[in-house]
Structure 1
Amino acid sequence: MRIAICDDEKSARDLLLQMLWEYPEAFSCLDTYESGEEFLESGKNYDLLFLDIDMKGMDGIETARKIRLRDKKLKIVYVTAYREYAGKAFSVHAFGYLLKPVKKERLFAQIEDAKSYREEEKQEEEPLEFMTTEGRTLLLPGDIYYFEFWNRKIRLCTKEGILEMKGKIGDVRDRMEKYGFAAPHKSFVVNLERIKNIKGYEIFLMNGACIPLSQKQAVGFKETLSKYLADRKEV
């Protein structure tokens, strides 16, 4: 699992880190952040976030609202010394709620619950089949960042790396539209879920990639993205 801690108190971050290091299984990623702003600016994807509510600057509730605009699946567990925040925490679809001082047993129980839900979600999401140069490949839509028509082939940029296949980018666009993909340029089809921000005619993705936004398609693409984000906000 990929886990993050966001708390403006160093002692609280260190305590959680120490307990997480004692968890019997290793995590693929374990990062810490000092503020909601720092977490959001990172653009990184996680499976589980331990988030303090009462932080300086952007508090945990507002941080979660902004997270939900781009990520509905992240499991957010609030960690706070104030029980009265519980109602607000669940208004932004919090996965859990831990009171400080956190007990290791409760912390581990939240991790186990998150792992169980994660496995169920993976089973619900059907993989798609692609005939790549490496052979028949199954990919989850969420694991694909974008498709690019390059050198008479289609490049698939995924979480695991780059794959190539034959075909037409227009056919890819039509096939992937129902999975939340759209074309910002005649040579690209991008996963709207993986867009971090747009500056001018450049689209920055959460994996650090930058792809072009054509001037001709800019207005329509931004409208498609806005509608996609609005629809997800209502979920």
Structure 2
Amino acid sequence: MIQVVCCDDEKEMRKVLIKIIEPELQLQGINYQLSEFASGEELLSSNRLEAVDLLFLDIEMKTLDGIETAKQLRKVNQRAVIVFITAFADFVFQGYEVKALNYLLKPYGEKKIVEVLRKALDELKMTQSKYFVIEQKSGITRVPLKDICYFSSDRRMLTVVTTKDSSSFYGKLSDLELPDSFLRIHNRYIVNLNYVEQLEAAFLYCNQEQLPISRKYRQSLMVNFAKNMLG
């Protein structure tokens, strides 16, 4: 699910934008949650900043403008795709310092909105493919795939172990969608081959931890480990 946010102090402008965005998201079969905010302060005081995937942000807002709002957002969320909304093209160049993807000029043109939305969604796909997403009641956590050493399973609970820490969540190893560098080595373990340092007959060392290898997965592991070593 992607988190889409529209932040504009003009309610009617938010309505017009959402009226175009939602049908396009539905048409593409994208699972989304859409939130509205009437000011930069309201957005920044929410507890959802880290979860924002796509942000449509008005530049000319009272008190805290869109540029400053984006700067504050970037302190906690570097991967969100930002699309600025403005009535003045002069503001557009300020978007570069906060890595804005694009901009929309008021009054809105439906064709332009759809074009920008599709570009933003393409950008999101590339960004999200670099993360493993954990959905819990407390919120959404994105873990960089490059930092993950392995996954372990204990009944219905999964644990993702990274180079820094670990997180647990409900799920099944068989349901995980992961890149080819992740390989099943046991009914209870999936490892990132990039962190496998040594193979033995019945176990391996992954990030200096010893993990068991099942006979069922050993042959596949040997072949893929060798391929990974050769690059």
- Please say whether Structure 1 and Structure 2 have the same fold, judged by a TM-score greater than 0.5: yes
Equivalent-residue separation in structure 1 for 2:55 and 2:113 (angstroms)? 12
Report the Cα offset of residue 139 of structure 1: 5.4
1:1-235 aligned within 5 A? 1-23=2-24, 24-25=27-28, 26-44=30-48, 45-125=51-131, 126=145, 128=148, 129-134=150-155, 147=166, 156-157=167-168
Report the Cα offset of residue 21 of structure 1: 2.6
Report the Cα offset of residue 135 of structure 1: 7.4
**How much is the aligned-residue C-alpha RMSD, in angstroms?**
3.0
Report the Cα offset of residue 134 of structure 1: 3.8
- Whether the aligned pair in 2 keeps the contact of 1:3 and 1:27 (CA below 8 Å) is no
Structure 1: segments with no counterpart, 5+ residues: 148-155, 166-174, 176-235
* 3-state SS in 2 of match to 1:32: strand
Structure 2: segments with no counterpart, 5+ residues: 132-144, 173-187, 189-206, 208-231
Equivalent-residue separation in structure 1 for 2:32 and 2:18 (angstroms)? 14
Report the Cα offset of residue 64 of structure 1: 0.4
- Whether the aligned pair in 1 keeps the contact of 2:6 and 2:55 (CA below 8 Å) is yes
- Whether the aligned pair in 1 keeps the contact of 2:158 and 2:171 (CA below 8 Å) is no
* 3-state SS in 1 of match to 2:63: coil
Equivalent-residue separation in structure 2 for 1:43 and 1:136 (angstroms)? 26
- Whether the aligned pair in 2 keeps the contact of 1:131 and 1:137 (CA below 8 Å) is yes
Equivalent-residue separation in structure 2 for 1:140 and 1:53 (angstroms)? 40
1:197 alignment counterpart: none
- Whether the aligned pair in 2 keeps the contact of 1:130 and 1:136 (CA below 8 Å) is no
The higher radius of gyration belongs to 2
Equivalent-residue separation in structure 1 for 2:82 and 2:113 (angstroms)? 13
What TM-score, normalized by structure 1, do the two folds share?
0.57
* 3-state SS in 1 of match to 2:43: helix
Equivalent-residue separation in structure 2 for 1:134 and 1:115 (angstroms)? 36
* 3-state SS in 1 of match to 2:129: helix
Equivalent-residue separation in structure 1 for 2:31 and 2:129 (angstroms)? 21
Report the Cα offset of residue 14 of structure 1: 0.9
Equivalent-residue separation in structure 2 for 1:77 and 1:115 (angstroms)? 11
- Whether the aligned pair in 2 keeps the contact of 1:78 and 1:97 (CA below 8 Å) is yes
Aligned length, in residue pairs: 152
Task: State the Cα deviation string for residues 14-53 of structure 1 (Å, max 9, x = none).
Answer: 1111112321235420110000011111121121000000
What TM-score, normalized by structure 2, do the two folds share?
0.58
* 3-state SS in 1 of match to 2:9: coil
Report the Cα offset of residue 120 of structure 1: 1.8
